[in-house]
Amino acid sequence: MTVITRFAPSPTGTLHVGNLRTALHNWMYAKAHGGRFLLRIDDTDRARSEERHVESIRADLAWLGLALDGEERQSARFDRYEAVFAELVAKQWIYPAYETPDELELRRKVLLGRGLPPIYERSALALTEADRTALEAEGRRPHWRFRLSHIPIVWDDLIRGPQRFDAATMSDPVIRRADGSWLYLLPSVIDDVDMGVTHVVRGEDHVSNTALQLQMFHAMGATPPAFAHEALLTGNEGKLSKRLGSLGVDHFRDAGIESQALVALLARIGTSDPVEPVADAAPLIASFDFGRFGRAPARFDEGELAQLNARIVHQLGFDAVADRLPDGMTSAAWEAIRPNLSTVAEAADWWRVVEGPVDPADLSPDDRAYLAQAAAAAASIDWSADSWPALTGALKETTGRKGKSLFLPLRLALTGREHGPDMATLLPLIGKDRALLRLAASG
């Protein structure tokens, strides 16, 4: 059996971090099993679906590195939905109902008032052909409900374990509106059947939909896929935050977050495996297992992401970042500067330090005298070898300085800053000419 998963967003907005996580897990599961990962655009709602959102969904998945093995669109499949619908109506799995929203609301209130669960009591099933003709003559158009079999619905969820719903406590779901438009439930089942989806991975907000959809798979005579419902994401505050709903790829990219960092975090939060700074998805995929997912909400912490990002930036090779580095910055410079960065963009700051000009340091007369000596020493060391140990070694001998008083004035004069990349790697990048000028300017 080839594993086939799908990520099925509605193109009514941009993807947020919760959606990205669901997409990632679908992709990882497929890849872990040599399977296929599909993007399914759920665009049956033509008024709210927009092409620019379809494009941003594709771009976001590409940025994350989730290559698609296929793309499907619900709007291209209306004929198929119509055919299955006709078949299920003929088999009486689907029936027309004529209540208006106001009538349904009133009944709901009456039932609740009597302390009863507000379940649709199927009055439409009792209508005769003549009743229906009369209602339609009044100008009423039916909406359509799926007739649930009142049996227990059970499945073994890959994350939540054994699940059980009593269909008798559920309303027959509306699957199609009076204007002919589709609700999400049935088209999704038809697609999953037709596209051979073997595993449905989605948020636990869909658990009760799954109960309903299992009966639809049955009505279509199809074997249902396996289901994995993941606990939702929460923010730092420990509750579902509005902020998370607004964080998408643009936000992360602007903040200098590498896609690998987001992947490494989203792959592991909410599981019993540790979050690790791996720049390569392969080990994450190899260890991916729904059995490791917890039932508690997964906590998404932007601070943790930033730290993870820095640790991943420190591993990135020159080729992976070259197109984002300032002109002229070499592989040696990248490797020298990299350990000091939280984001790749910060490399430009350090490259400015290398290229100069740097602000002359504000120093005591003592240190100025020391730097004048340093300028002289720098003129006579061998710059083709390790210049920093050569310079500091010579100065240690001639001045008797050591530790901070030996190193810090040099760093200040050479870089204009108190902290930064290792001077042993930075000084060769600054080079003899610039170093002499900077030492002389502070001396």
Residue type, 217: F
Q: Name the closest residue to ligand GLU (Cβ).
A: 42
> Which residues, in sequence order, are bridge partners of residue 139?
none
The CA distance from 202 to 72, in Å, is 18
Question: What residues make contact with ligand GLU under the rule CB under 6 A?
Answer: 8-10, 42, 184, 188, 202, 206
For 3, residues 6+ apart whose C-beta sits below 8 A from its C-beta are 29, 30, 33, 34, 35, 36, 198, 199
Kind plus residue range of the DSSP H or E element containing 4: strand 4-7
* Amino acid at residue number 172: D
Closer of 9 and 416 to ligand GLU (Cβ): 9
Q: Is the bond preceding residue 357 a cis peptide, omega within 30 degrees? A: yes
Q: Which amino acid is at 16?
A: H
Q: Nearest approach, Cβ of 209 to ligand GLU (angstroms)?
A: 7
Question: With contact defined as beta carbons under 8 Å apart, do 373 and 327 qualify?
Answer: no
**79 phi/psi in degrees, rounded to 5:** -60, -40
Rounded least distance, CB 83 to ligand GLU, Å: 21
The residue to which tokens 């291209």 are assigned: 76
Closest by CA position to 141, among listed 179, 89, 102: 179
Alpha-carbon gap, residue 148 to 387, rounded angstroms: 80
DSSP structure class, residue 309: H
Structure tokens at 272: 């019993």
Distance, CA of 154 to CA of 199 (rounded, Å):
16
CA distance 248 to 63: 12
DSSP string, 142-186: -EEEE---SSEEEEEETTTEEEEEEGGGSPPPEEE-TTSPBPSHH
